[in-house]
Amino acid sequence: MEEHPRVLWQELKDFAGIDEEDFFKYFENKERGFAVSIEELNIFKNPIDPKEIKENFRPPHTFSYIDKNIVKKVITK
pLDDT digits (tens, 9 = 90+) for 17-37: 889 999 999 999 999 999 888
pLDDT band at residue 57 using 50, 70 and 90 as cut-offs: confident
pLDDT for 54 beyond 70: yes
Q: Where are the alpha helices (DSSP H) in 1-77?
A: 5-12, 20-26, 50-53, 68-76
Q: What's the pLDDT score for residue 77?
A: 58
What phi, psi does 76 have (nearest 5°)?
Answer: -80, -10
pTM (global) more than 0.85: no
Q: If you average pLDDT over every residue of the chain, what do you get?
A: 83
